[in-house]
Amino acid sequence: EGSDPDISTGFRVDLNGVELTDKINEKYDDLSSQISQQSTPDYMMHDTRVVGYTSREEQELLFRVLTQIGVDPTLESILDVGCGVGDLNNYLTGVLGAPVNYLGIDINPNMVNTAYQKYPGIKCLTKDLADMEDTFDFVVSSGLFGLKLTDDMYAYLYKSIDKMYELANIGVAFNMMSDNSKDQQEGLFYYTPTEVFDYCLNKYGRVT
């Protein structure tokens, strides 16, 4: 039910036995604290910086590109990994003009609780990707891999990609920041796009 989200704790982001949930939540909380000093009391509901976007325009641009793999959640199910406050569901509903077959997961209960306040009726869980078992037609993630969480972010990324592919019946889409960026910020991680592309192509690509 929309009014009673699952906010159970104990789920994990697992990287070779390393618990990252506390670290991610700490970064969420630090960011939230910084923004709260510059914004309105209901900043969690309206400030896109809480979920890592500099503006609503940037967020929607990334959503638009992300869903160009053919996502039509009115016909197929979609899992949003690292859903934040559920803005992707709202974006899709607005674009499609119809209810979306959507489930969002995030390990931060404050984000999930805010999603239920912001979008009554949304389906979100406080849960780690590693613990998901149900399959979905599409599995997508926007902004999940931007925080510098571990010394080996590529291992974390690849393990997450593998899990998303395991859960997806049709397709997977995600985004990340490029090390070609000229405006790199401390605390964030920037990947070499060709390296990630080669991993995906070698493991999941097909030659026809």
pLDDT for res 172: 94
pLDDT for res 208: 47
The predicted-structure confidence for 147-159, as pLDDT tens digits, reads as follows 887 888 999 999 9
SS3 label, residue 96? helix
136 pLDDT more than 90: yes
pLDDT for res 95: 85
pLDDT for res 29: 60
pLDDT for res 70: 82
Rg (CA), the chain: 16
pLDDT: which is higher, 183 or 157: 157
Rounded to an integer, the average pLDDT of 68-90 is 87
44 pLDDT more than 90: no
51 pLDDT more than 80: no
DSSP letters along the chain, please?
A: -TTS-B-------EETTEE-HHHHHHHHHHHHHHHHTTS-TTHHHH-GGGGT-S-HHHHHHHHHHHGGGT--TTTS-EEEET-TTTHHHHHHHHHHTS---EEEEES-HHHHHHHHHHSTT--EEE--GGG--S-EEEEEESSTT-B--SS-HHHHHHHHHHHHHHHEEEEEEE---BTT-SS--TTB--B-HHHHHHHHHHHH----
173 pLDDT more than 90: yes
Q: Supply the pTM of this predicted model.
A: 0.75
Q: What percent of the chain has pLDDT over 90?
A: 33
φ, ψ of residue 195 in degrees (nearest 5): -65, -45
